Amino acid sequence: MNPPIRDWRGKRVWVIGASTGIGGETARLLLAKGARVALSARRRPELDAIAAGNPQAIVAPTDIVDHASLLAARDRIFGQWQGVDLVLVVAGGYNEMRADEFDLALANRLLDLNVRGVLNCLDAVLPTLLQQRSGGLGIVGSVAGYSGLPKALIYGPTKAAIINLCEALYLDLRPRGIAVYLINPGFVKTPLTAQNDFKMPALMSAPDAAAALVKGLESGDFHIHFPKRFTNWLRLARLLPYRWYFALIHKVTGL
């Protein structure tokens, strides 16, 4: 559904959310494959450690909820590269929440980071991509966006919004020569998931998740999801009638 990427050498890739977890490991892997990689996140020391003096790397700290800082990073990176081949928006946040623990302030913080922050990224990069009529845009959602799950009262809806957004972006951008990638990980061992107090099925390491992500980009997939033995189960479950779906989720999670 997107053109395959056969050679990363010289490709200009901006990874937003590159300090830790999937974003950091993806940045490392792309640098190893010869890409030019701009690394952005809030914490500069982690970005510097990934860049490790590599001349192919640009360190450009930013916060996606701070529109001005995002535009400043964009201007620096695109000015140096004179364009971009791929933007990966990996930054996001996660907090458990159930209805009896509803916290409006926390809910709004998740919305700011997982939805409004992504919209800030779109505002920063879409004009260049449309002007080029080339390049690609990948956004990380989550399998939690497929359907309602316990403990994901706000996180799940933010990721459902990302799934819908990417589907609409594909319809608008692919005819204009711009690739769009929807990236839905399952459970990945990162600082975000370390707070979970429940068993995480098919838990992946961050390097394995990055390898699956890059493989999906190279194959030209629109929907990149992993590990498939878990994500395909959730995709099938959401097709069930609600009576069956709710009973299945309750039985599996005990919640």
The secondary structure element, H or E, covering residue 76 is: helix 67-81
Per the CB < 8 A criterion, the answer to whether 85 and 12 are in contact is: yes
Considering the candidates 146, 155, 170, 181, report the single residue annotated as catalytic. 155
Active site residue 155: yes
Whole-number Å distance between alpha carbons of 74 and 163: 24
Whole-number Å distance between alpha carbons of 223 and 182: 5
Active site residues: 155
